[in-house]
A and B are shown apart, each in its own frame.
Chain A
Amino acid sequence: MARAPLRPLVWTAAAFLAGVLLHAGRVPLWTLLAACACAAWSVAGNAGRGPLPGRTVRVAMALALFAAVVAMFRTLNGPDAGTALLAAMGAVKLLEARARRDQYVVIGAALFLLLAATLDEQGLPFLPLYVAHAWLCCAALAAVARPDRAPHAAAAGVGGERSGGSGKLWAASDAAAAKLAARNLLFALPLAVLVFLFFPRLSGSLWALPDPAHAATGLSDTLTPGSISELVESTAPAFRVWFDGAPPPPAERYWRGPVLHEFDGKTWSRPPAWGFGAQRSIQPLGRAYRYRITLEPTATRWWLALDTISSPPRNASVGLTADHVLVGARPLTGPVSYEAISYAPARDDAPLSARLRALDTRSPHGRNPRTLALARRLRAAARDDADFVSAALDLLRTGGFRYTLRPPRLGSDAVDDLLFRTRQGFCGHYASAFAMLMRAGGVPARVVTGYLGGEWNPIGGYLLVRRSDAHAWVEVWLEGRGWTRVDPTAVVAPERLTRGILEILPGAASTSERLILEVRWLASIRQAWDTADAWWTTAVIDFDLKSQLALLGSIGVHDAGLGLLITALALALAAWLVATAWRHGRPPRAARSDPLARAYARLCRKLARAGAPREPHQGPLAYLESIARARPALAPSVRPLLEDYAALRFGPAGALQARRIADFKRAVARWRA
């Protein structure tokens, strides 16, 4: 079996492996290992260090890997299974990638892996990786495209002052391929930007998108204090908020997410069908805040808003429920931006229907008996519901409760366990226990999950809310006041209201995260980075048809529609094509670094005007002879010049070469026919 030339194969294998590595976190480990093994085998085999697999073995490997992918994912539909399959099949293809055509196919697979990576993850930190991989693929294409060089068909340099570079060019072909790829990517970059800006986006999809395979990282719609640690300890951004005017004070930065009504003694959950009720009546107690919020993708349908939002954002496919929760039409697979107006604080004094009162005072039978007894005792001692709330809060304040992110596990009567035994927990624990107490005392109560706080970014002028700022609090319904927010965590750990979890519990963050949070100059770098990230999310990832039309508006084309957008695209494409043809259409002239040649050319032009043109075959001395014959009058003044030139061009280069060339140049300039 003929072996492939090694260099193109190594480039191909590198481009493909890098493509697989882009998915290192997503494809199963064995796919990664198979790709590495096949690449190593292919390179080693073609380098003559061992046999390459025959056709039967390759087919068997392909079938085995195919079966493994199917067995693992149970489907071939969806990005993860598709990526794994592409990686596995490309790896087997690499084993037979001797011919140029096969290598092209493998590089094509590598480019498709890059595409899959961009579809999966568009964050700013990935951009350099993607660019580097595009470069690697282009360099591999250049290396593969080099024609084979048959050993006998050597090109022989035949003169030329700087000839003989041919062998060197081949030796340097790797570097040349790398450089070529980088240059071409640079030249193609404007087109990429133009396509990005002006190619009309679809508002829907051409074919149904498979659901994202990743686990939800946002708020869940259940809360189970005491199972495993519920809190997301990630410092990744959850959303960012730009305010018109000043942001709300820290104690009012409650970001409302799903509201939970049902409790089975252990887990709070949201009833599956919750109507988009019309009985909203918000009584503003504080000022109104107008803001724009950019939500990172969560794969859930919950949209966040400052508590309490007055009406759903316009131009967004989202609804507002009766308990003031924004519910999107589809799970969020990409970032989303919207504008909203909220009042903080505010209260909802709509009358409570009997059905809702029943729902929000229900507590499971026979569970948490000690809590039930405690609630009855407290309620009996209180004058009214408000007094009962205060009494319960006093209990939490004085009962020796501790705020921790690593609470002990709770038993089946989780609230009893928390209140009477462990006395340790975080917001979810206290919200759950407090709401349970309220319900047991006959006060309607519900648990609200969301976020509390946020970090002001002075560089970008926005509030950054991290996943670690997740929070849960309680709303109780009081006669005459309606739904009223009560945050039991604020009683147990008052500092949580004004500072983030990672600040009040340093142990919660990893060492590096803590370092970044605590060291001042690192913090400013982090904020600058987050500003860039925020810009990337809103301006690049979230760029859609609406943004495109707004862009046209900003350059003076108002009321633009799809037609104008296509016109803009065509104009931009034409401009790029003309510029490219202008730049690359003709080979550039030889470098102008030879002043001697230029001076000589000038002399020849002068002589031609004087009626003694140089024939192309004539060297300087033959030229001199022909001038002496044809125009003897010119010869005496031209002779020293041409002889000088011959000596400078063909004689040994002396130490004063540069000065003599300059003299020659001046002499040529002075010469007159």
Chain B
Amino acid sequence: MAVWALARQGADRFPSRLRPRRLYILPTRAGLGFAALVLGMLLAALNYGNGMALALAGLLAGVALVAMHQCHRNLLDLEITAAEASPAFAGGRGVVSLVLTNDSGIARLGLQIDGTGPWSDAARGRTRGARGSPDAEDAARPGVADLAASSSARIDFAVPARRRGVLRIERLRLSTSHPFGFFRAWTWVHAPLAIIVYPRPRGDRPPPLHHGERQSSPGVAGGGAQDEWRGLRGFRDGDSPRQVAWKAYARGAPLLVKEYAASAAEQRLFDFGRLAGLGTEARLEQLARWVVDADARGERYGLVLPGFSLAPDRGPEHRRRALTALALHGIEAP
């Protein structure tokens, strides 16, 4: 079905508006049950020759039919403004988000995002139907949201990230069963979404000292207070708002970032080759541990992997590059 839908509507480019052509709708089990109930009422009403019961059956059928249209239009003409995937550590949860824009005059209620990927094969094997299962550690959690009239919102869909590497989202399903749960309308979203899964930060080797004369154990926090003021540089994507020179900005200057230089002793180089005695995954995990710790302390660090090296630096963007390199080590880039 989803493959057919992909062939039919092609991969998505955002922003993309939900046209009737790509919306599907079917009654749910509750809807079928309700239909059976109304049919039973109709028979009873005819048997008793009872006009009021007949009108009641008609009324309930009407409510369900109106609900069918409401369910379908709850998605119709929505705009998928953007889709994004944020990275995660192995063992944690990656988050896929859709940014939806509703420029109509009605609220869109009970929107739900789930999807298919490697995790859903595992989930399929488990017992179905139990309501408690989404709380299980390795199940995907569908994202749920409402959109007021003329508004935008981001809906997150949390996916279990088990192994380091790239977690590809084959497709997302944006669906709704508003208002009564008698029908489910949905659309398939085919976007080249991939969650970069960083190695799980693990390992207890002490981080290496580079050019280091001073002995420093990992337990002693470097702390920004000891850093030397180095100067200002232009804002780059990924810089922390805390580092922005807001006072200068307020005076009319462009966005600048305050740079501190850690002392040379705290500048480290994490080298894949020097972790003798460990397997590849264990090395990557150890490196991830060091990167995360060093970043938390605000230290400058570099990374050396076979066929890859990252000059010492710091900041969120540097951390992302380092961790991505660890995640993709030995794996084809997404």
Contacts and interface: CB of A to CB of B under 8 A. Distances in A.
B34 to A, nearest CB: 7
Contacts of A194: 58
Contacts, number: 250
B145 A166 contact: yes
A148 B146 contact: no
B49 A165 contact: no
Nearest to A112: B37
A134 interface: yes
Contact of B46 (A111, A190, A206): A206
Interface string B8-44: 0000000000000000000001100110010011011
A184 B47 contact: no
B143 A153 contact: yes
Given A184-B179, A590-B103, A160 B55 contact: no
A655 interface: no
A577 interface: yes
Contacts of A112: 37, 40-41
Given A138-B63, A206-B47, A585-B73, A163 B56 contact: no
A202 B43 CA distance: 10
B59 A134 contact: yes
B106 A184 contact: no
B249 interface: no
Contacts of A130: 52, 56
Contact of B105 (A161, A163, A588): A588
A118 B62 contact: no
A162 B107 CA distance: 11
B58 A199 contact: yes
B304 interface: no
A222 to B, nearest CB: 30
B149 interface: yes
Contact of B49 (A205, A576, A591): A205
B56 to A, nearest CB: 6
A334 interface: yes
A192 B56 contact: yes
B35 to A, nearest CB: 11
A164 B153 CA distance: 8
Given A104-B33, A144-B181, A156-B154, A207 B58 contact: no
Contacts of B45: 115, 119
B280 interface: no
A191 interface: yes
Interface in B165-190: 177-181
A453 B141 CA distance: 74
A590 B59 contact: no
A154 interface: yes
B83 to A, nearest CB: 13
A147 interface: yes
B242 interface: no
A157 B151 contact: yes
A147 to B, nearest CB: 5
A150 B105 contact: no
Given A134-B60, A192-B59, A580 B49 contact: no
Contact of A108 (B37, B67, B142): B37
Contact of A111 (B60, B66, B143): B60
Interface stretch (B155-163, B250-258, B281-289): B155-163
B267 interface: no
B101 interface: yes
B158 to A, nearest CB: 6
B62 A169 contact: no
Nearest to A191: B62
Interface string A162-177: 1111101110000010
B146 A169 contact: yes
Nearest to B175: A147
A238 interface: no
Interface stretch (A31-39, A537-545, A553-561): A537-545
A291 interface: no
Contact of B56 (A118, A169, A540): A118
Nearest to A131: B59
A586 B55 contact: no
A122 interface: yes
Contact of B152 (A114, A157, A190): A157
Nearest to A158: B154
A196 to B, nearest CB: 4
B69 interface: yes
Interface of B: 29-30, 33-34, 37, 40-41, 43-63, 65-67, 69-70, 72-74, 76-77, 99, 101, 103-110, 112, 131-132, 134, 141-158, 177-181
3 pairs of A and B residues whose beta carbons are closest in the complex: A188-B62, A195-B58, A155-B145
26 contacts: A104-B30, A118-B53, A141-B181, A142-B180, A145-B178, A150-B144, A154-B156, A160-B152, A165-B107, A169-B109, A169-B146, A184-B62, A188-B60, A191-B62, A192-B59, A193-B58, A201-B54, A206-B43, A543-B51, A576-B62, A584-B70, A584-B73, A585-B72, A587-B104, A587-B108, A589-B105
